[in-house]
Amino acid sequence: MPWSHRSFWIGPPIIGAILAVLVLIFSRGRLYAIYRERFPESRRERLFLGSLGFFVTVFVVRGITIAIHNDIGPFHNVSMHGRHIHHMVWGILLLLTVGYCWLVEIGTGAADSWPLAGRITAMLYGVAAALILDEFALWLNLSDVYWQREGRESYEAMALFGSLLSVGLFGRSLLRGLAKEARRAVSRNAGL
């Protein structure tokens, strides 16, 4: 069974520990005040936490897969009855779980929803997206091309998704400003 493999249990605690340390760092004192000031609304905070979960997971999973590929440390592929279980499978299951939580309105950021649930599901969404997109080349080519030239497609997919998360997080005020200026320009030209 996959859960009896030591490798199955190494990645999640590493990802969870890094995210927990970051949460603890920003949960008290002056850093907490800055955090609350910069994230006055839950939607923007959830986007940030999703990004955080995504990027932490990308670095941890890539590190573990490089260690497996180079036979470094205690890391090994997870297999069941001789079949390699790709980490994309765990990402899909996690994404389905987060999606279900959001369907039943757990962690949606709504006024009557529990804020901690929103923060946790946002981070888990980022983790799931990273696990899935890290093997994008596998599901695009329907072949295990992780360490081949076609495996680069996974890097490109992760970069694209990470960029979208970052633009949504950091570019929101800029995009609003550009839209406002475009509306002004259209209304000035319409008045001519």
Q: Per-domain residue ranges for the chain?
A: 2-190
pTM greater than 0.85: no
Average the pLDDT over 54-80 and give the result.
83
- What is the residue whose two structure tokens read 């529990």? 114
Output the pLDDT for position 181: 79
- Number of alpha carbons in the 13 Å side-chain half-sphere of residue 17: 7
Q: What is the pLDDT of residue 157?
A: 81
Number of helical H runs and strand E runs in the chain: 8, 2
Which tens digit of pLDDT belongs to each residue from 103-136?
Answer: 988 888 777 778 888 889 999 999 999 998 888 7
Calculated CA dihedral for residues 94, 35, 63, 77, nearest 10 degrees: -20
pLDDT (0 to 100) of residue 96: 95
For residue 178, the model assigns a pLDDT of 67
**pLDDT of 70 strictly over 60:** yes
- Quote the pLDDT of residue 137: 74
Of all residues in the chain, what percent carry a pLDDT higher than 90? 13
Q: Give the amino acid at 18.
A: I
**Burial code of 67-106, b = ≥16 C-beta within 10 A, e = fewer?**
beeeeeeebeebeeeeeeebbbebbeebbeebeebbeeeb
Mean pLDDT, residues 13-30: 87
3-class secondary-structure state, position 171: coil
Q: In the chain, what percentage of residues exceed pLDDT 70?
A: 86
CA distance 62 to 116: 28
